Amino acid sequence: MSNIGNIISNFYEQNILSYIKLLQEYPIKLVSVILDIAIVIFLAYELLRIVKDSRAWQLVKGIALLIITTALSGLLNLKILNFILSRVMDWGVILIIIIFQPEIRRALEQLGGTNKFSRFFGFDKDIITKTKEDIYKVVIAVYELAKSKTGALIVIERDIQIKDIINTGIPMNAEVSPQLLVNIFVPNTPLHDGAVVISNNQIAASACMLPLAGDQDIAKELGTRHRAGIGISKESDAIAIIVSEETGKVSVAKDGTLIADVREDVLKKILINNIVTKRLNEAKDKKEANNIYKKIKNIFKKKEEKNEKHQIDN
């Protein structure tokens, strides 16, 4: 235990104390420290937000446990265990990249995205009202199709653009309406086979081809539409609505997960919460963060002006 105490004591003296002394000598470096901490917190928050409620969330918890165990084995001088865990961590990075390639790709796309829904699912009151109206229209169409057991697949684009998917279909660029959506999926018509993609408050295209999820991801009794809905929700952050032509039941695919046999009121809540409410909350958080940043910036600006004035007076 004395070894652990010495390690902690040496770390404190060599790193924390020396850093505090440096800040005392050069107070201006506090700005870079605050900026450094703010960036790290922001990146950590974004990572947790992206992976939460997904398959990767279990992976993150496992990695955290592995890191803690490796660190403790080093502190307790458990050389064999530490060696094994260190090798696992070295190869683990490569395995994570291979196994979770779709999740990593989606996370990077979200971090680097242009937030296309600033127009479609934006924060202006009129846009929000229009978005809610379009959601209600989609829900009406979905349950009209469900009544007649007409198979359908509707994809709603969110932050990550799926232009490559849209390009596989027939361009429409039409206003969202229940009548048009129902008519598209009428059997034995040119546009009924494939998916409809809604983007930027419009029906962007129909008869679109979607990536299929593997058999291990869904129950065997579910068909191609469900597999395609899960596939697009794994490849992007889009929400897919599926109507089964065998049972007439409605399902929703989101973040690689299928929610089966959804009622009309539940579907409305899912779409509102994940499209309108989510965007409003993100806008609010961003606004609050900007206000805090401006306040900190003003404080340091005033201090710099005060120091400059003091130097001139002297």
Enumerate the domain spans of the chain. 2-111, 117-274
Q: Are 132 and 221 within 8 A, CB to CB?
A: no
Read off the tokens for 84.
């094994």
Read off the tokens for 106.
């989606």
pLDDT for position 1: 45
Residue with tokens 């652990």: 4
- Tens of pLDDT along the chain (314 residues)? 445 555 556 655 556 666 666 666 666 666 777 787 888 888 777 777 766 655 566 677 777 788 888 888 888 888 888 888 888 777 776 776 676 666 666 666 655 554 444 444 444 456 777 888 899 999 999 999 999 999 999 999 988 889 899 999 999 999 999 999 999 999 888 888 899 999 988 999 999 999 888 766 566 677 889 999 999 998 888 999 999 998 999 999 998 889 999 999 999 999 988 887 655 555 555 555 455 555 555 665 665 666 666 555 55
CA distance readout (Å), 294 to 24, 31, 46, 237, 271? 24, 13, 21, 32, 34
**Gap between the Cα atoms of 124 and 193, Å rounded:** 35
- The H-assigned helical ranges of the chain are 2-11, 18-25, 29-51, 55-75, 79-99, 101-111, 117-120, 125-147, 163-166, 178-184, 224-235, 264-271, 278-313
**Gap between the Cα atoms of 145 and 154, Å rounded:** 12
pTM (predicted TM-score)? 0.56
- Ramachandran region, residue 242 (left: φ > 0; alpha: ψ -120 to 50; beta: rest): beta
CATH number of this structure's domain 117-274: 3.40.1700.10
Dihedral angle of Cα 187, 193, 195, 199, to the nearest 10 degrees: -80
